[in-house]
Amino acid sequence: MPIGYRQPALPRETISLTTYAQLDLYLEKFASGEFGLLLLLGRHGTGKSESVRRALNCSPVNGGNGNRVVPDVLYVEGHMQPFGLYRDLWEHRDQPVVLDDLDKLHADGNCVRLLKPLCNTERVKRIAWLSNLTMNENHVPASFVTTSNVILIANEWRTVNPSVRAFEDRAIILHFDPSKAEVHRRVSEWFDDGEVYAFIEQILPCIAEVSMRHYCKGSQLRRAGMPDWRSSLLQMVLPDPRMACVVALQHDTTLRSEQERVDRFVTTTGCSRATYFRMKARLMEATSLGHSG
């Protein structure tokens, strides 16, 4: 059986979602203004950010300040400079705010202090910047009111201080944990490389967790003409190089017999013939359970 990923600790009062239909429904309600604050958690590679962008009907492009500029939405991705965020919140007041990939948010006290009033449960919120920086930005006031609703997106969330805990108390917290099959199905809606898609489908039972990035990387390798793209992709998705080698050998059409596969395995890995058959037995078991589940 594949080794699963480490399940991160979750905040209390978390709503578990396992399908994209469930996630899309919550995001549609956020886009229509029904939710004031959502906290969306889940492992990387499941398309959380893309689902949010689709719900908000936005196609972001990089702005001059490093944030993403989209019509009628403030989309902040990655590291934030606190005053830059304040200025953007002013310029996008009363518009939806997306704070994406903010796993280190809790470590920046200035950002936490700025976001605490933004994430208030009141409809109208007052945001303030208590320094002289606004004096150099004539169009930016020292404080303003906004009705922006907010969604925070993170792979993990850590409750390290009372201010961060306040976000948890105020937010509707969603933990998105789709199955491998559910991710695979979602990818089929937009992925246009049938050969890579079919290969990942074959090895899906052996993978602990699948990421949408695996499909994209596999397609890049194949379209670049890399003859060993399958082996390279297997090294990405299977942590045990011996298992990756065994799976690759099963798909190597240049090998005509089991003995040739065994010989190649021994040469490539330095492991024994017995190890090959032991790893192959594990592969067959995982594949059988995957197809029956």
SS3 of 91, please? Answer: helix
Predicted local confidence at residue 21, as pLDDT: 98
Q: What SS3 state is found at 142?
A: coil
Would you list the DSSP string of 94-138? TS-EEEES-TTGGG-HHHHHHHHHHT-SSSSEEEE--SGGGGG-T
3-state percent breakdown (helix, strand, coil) of the chain, nearest 5: 50, 15, 40
Sign of the CA dihedral with 196 first, then 59, 173, and 118 last: positive
Rounded to the nearest 10 degrees, how much is the dihedral formed by the CA atoms of 38, 43, 44, 45?
Answer: -100
Q: Which one-letter DSSP state was computed for residue 206?
A: G
Greatest pairwise CA separation for the chain in angstroms: 77
* CA 14 – CA 172 distance, rounded (Å): 8
Residue 46 has pLDDT above 70, yes or no: yes
Is domain 14-176 annotated with CATH 3.20.20.70? no
The boundaries of every CATH 3.40.50.300 domain in the chain are: 14-176
Taking the whole predicted model, whether its pTM rises above 0.85 is answered as no
Around Cβ 232, how many Cβ atoms within 10 Å? 16
Provide the pLDDT for residue 137: 64
Per-residue pLDDT band for 23 (boundaries 50, 70, 90) equals very high
Above 80 in pLDDT, residue 61? no
Cα of 160 vs its chain's centroid, Å: 22
| Owner of token pair 């009363």 | 94
Cα–Cα distances in angstroms (integers) from residue 143 to residues 99, 163, 293, in the given order = 20, 20, 56
pLDDT of 60 over the 60 cut: no
Encode pLDDT of 222-245 as tens digits. 999 999 898 899 889 988 889 888
Q: What number is the average pLDDT over the span 277-293?
A: 70
| Residue that has been written with the tokens 């298992």 in this structure | 243
Tens-digit pLDDT profile for residues 135-157: 566 688 889 999 999 999 988 77
- Name the one residue in this structure whose structure tokens are 């470590």: 107
**pLDDT over 90 (residue 116):** no
What's the pLDDT at 5?
44
Eight-class DSSP state of 204: G
Q: For 154-208, what is each residue's pLDDT tens digit? A: 887 766 556 667 777 889 999 999 999 999 999 999 999 999 999 999 888 888 8
- Per-residue confidence (pLDDT) for residue 290, from 0 to 100: 44
**pLDDT for position 292:** 44
- CA distance from start to end of the chain: 12
At 107 the pLDDT is 66
Residue 70 scores a pLDDT above 60: no
